Structure 1
């Protein structure tokens, strides 16, 4: 985005900052950053907005909390809904009411499915645009997979939370090891609140020697995992509290690396995976369906699936293309805002 605008980033935490040397974020060191910002540091934010032409906020729930402050600064605000803010959060009556009365200059979502779900909760005249989250293709080298044989290595990388569907990965893998490939292995990278429960499930399934929980990984180890594993699995589900994915970027990254991906018909995932053409889809929470996807790899043209996966990401999820689309939408917002000047370079927050 810095290729199009003078951008300043305000955030509450920073990860992998070395991978983005051009960004120097302003970190607000509070445990509950945004609420404290709103209640006791309004002056701070308003000072940051003095020379700003557009405030762009990731997560609609945060944007809702900032709306009153930003409205007094007489600048447009856009927001990007990414998952929980367009799913579980909508079960809260107050949140839905505030959304319905919101005055965002525009709303962005990361899938057509999310747009369909969110639009009824927005003011009828509010612009809502699909802007996919792209990935930097140069960071994810393509390695064509040609076939699947015994000793296959499955990989899931995710937060260990309900919507990631890890328990269904484990149960499908149990059947796969018992009926198809006794030498298969499963690597699960990531951490989260379900870790202990999942480890107990692995033990009860008698899979402790086949499954390796390796915890959180750094960027280089992450790339090596994508490079060396055979099949990526990410069976997203709708959690009991309504929490849903948007369109998981990690699936894009695995496909860019040429990995056959097994996932679910959940949220925006079918906008990325074309079943049996560049990956495999099962229904949510369908262990038998996931198992069928696993054994289908033996009969599939894995080389074509691998190539098609990379091609799909190149065509629709290359970050150079997606950033250009998002920047164009933002330019329209600035140009059509009553107080915005179209004669000077925009500064965004």
Structure 2
């Protein structure tokens, strides 16, 4: 690919892979740039057919010997020459690195190019990764070198401050969805019809899916419900065994990983999204799961936990219900409230759609992101 000749200033994005299915929100940002031209540098390309972008430059596309030479050079100089050459050919104005641990790796490129750097934190990179040996010192160097650190909410902001980041460098910047492409469909249920619950997440410990299954199973004798699970992961087999053990296997449907279009269509067929996130023993946490925004945009109610910055999205008794994390009884009470009062589904769904349009619309949020770029280019620090 030839570098862009567009007259817009170029923002050089980086993530080590372009682009995992579970990081589709990055593509939403790229698609909604208006005043900046996005160019993406990465080590490996995957799912380009699902996340098309005119200018994606991958180290893996170079001759294998050249790749090895580039990596050896980077160990000595602190940056990969191929990425530096793209920054020069594209005349980049600003560098935006996705995930804190990737930001650490791009400090050398930032210094070599002299570009201002924005680094976005999303979840595990803020909470789990710093537990590894030496990472806090690496992050403190990142906090010094980066011009702006973007976080998903006040919980994450406060955590990075405890790790040593200057509060003046941190700005809260929400993830968002393209609400204009997701139609709002009020949920209508016939009398006696089961309430249709859904999860849309990787089957990892921090997602709390096992706790959700236990909470629903406690209600199986007195209520009609189903649960659709979209997503996959290392816990799938154990979760399926749990469902059998608890006597609810016949109410659960496992869909595995699916494209975004399938997820949205399944959301239209369901009533309530479950996001039962927990903090794991090794401090893995969520940021603000985009699945919640998608669900609210379609008109679903949400039952989630008071975990990390999830309360930034789910407002208690307005857009959904919040349970204590890792608490089966608390989550069961939320489910029971929905099952006893199914009219809440319509109320929460309507309010949720409004909140997404106001606060989590990626088109508006990308304009705000570009304002961050303009500020760091101008050398401004937010007060």
CA distance in 1, matches of 2:251, 2:137: 48
CA distance in 2, matches of 1:58, 1:333: 16
Give 1:210 shift. 1.4
CA distance in 1, matches of 2:114, 2:291: 37
1:200-242 Cα offsets, whole Å, 9 max, x none, are: 2122212221111111112221121011112111111111210
Q: How does 1:74-113 map to 2 (within 5 A)?
A: 74-102=114-142, 103-113=145-155
Give the TM-score, by structure 2 length.
0.81
Give 1:23 shift. 4.2
CA distance in 2, matches of 1:302, 1:133: 24
- 8 A contact 1:110–1:131 mirrored in 2: yes
Pair 1:144-2:175 in alignment: no
Q: How does 1:287-298 map to 2 (within 5 A)?
A: 287-297=328-338, 298=340
Pair 1:6-2:37 in alignment: yes
CA distance in 1, matches of 2:193, 2:335: 12
SS at structure 1 position matched to 2:92: coil
Give 1:21 shift. 4.8
CA distance in 1, matches of 2:285, 2:124: 6
Which deviates more from structure 2 when the two are superposed, residues 21-30 or residues 321-330? 21-30
CA distance in 1, matches of 2:59, 2:221: 51
CA 1:232–1:125: 2 relative to 1, 3 Å:
closer
- 8 A contact 2:271–2:345 mirrored in 1: no
CA distance in 1, matches of 2:137, 2:358: 38
CA distance in 2, matches of 1:225, 1:245: 23
CA 1:113–1:123: 2 relative to 1, 3 Å:
closer
Which deviates more from structure 2 when the two are superposed, residues 206-215 or residues 8-17? 8-17
SS at structure 2 position matched to 1:301: helix
CA RMSD between the two structures: 2.2
1:130-172 Cα offsets, whole Å, 9 max, x none, are: 0101110022211112568541211101001111111011101
Counterpart of 1:254 in structure 2 is 295
SS at structure 2 position matched to 1:285: coil
- 8 A contact 2:201–2:207 mirrored in 1: yes
Give 1:287 shift. 1.0
Counterpart of 2:350 in structure 1 is 307
Gaps of 5+ in 1: 338-349
- 8 A contact 2:59–2:82 mirrored in 1: no
Counterpart of 1:65 in structure 2 is 105
- 8 A contact 1:190–1:217 mirrored in 2: yes
Give 1:22 shift. 5.1
CA 1:28–1:143: 2 relative to 1, 3 Å:
farther
1:225-264 Cα offsets, whole Å, 9 max, x none, are: 0111121111111112101100001101100111011100
Counterpart of 1:344 in structure 2 is none
CA 1:312–1:93: 2 relative to 1, 3 Å:
same
SS at structure 1 position matched to 2:177: coil
CA distance in 2, matches of 1:333, 1:254: 34
Pair 1:42-2:80 in alignment: yes
Pair 1:27-2:58 in alignment: yes
Counterpart of 1:273 in structure 2 is 314
Counterpart of 2:361 in structure 1 is 318
1:237 aligned residue (261, 278, 283):
278
CA 1:314–1:23: 2 relative to 1, 3 Å:
farther
Counterpart of 1:15 in structure 2 is 47
Number of residue equivalences: 331
CA distance in 2, matches of 1:142, 1:16: 29
Gaps of 5+ in 2: 1-31, 62-66
Counterpart of 1:117 in structure 2 is 159
Q: How does 1:92-241 map to 2 (within 5 A)?
A: 92-102=132-142, 103-124=145-166, 127-146=169-188, 149-181=192-224, 184-241=225-282
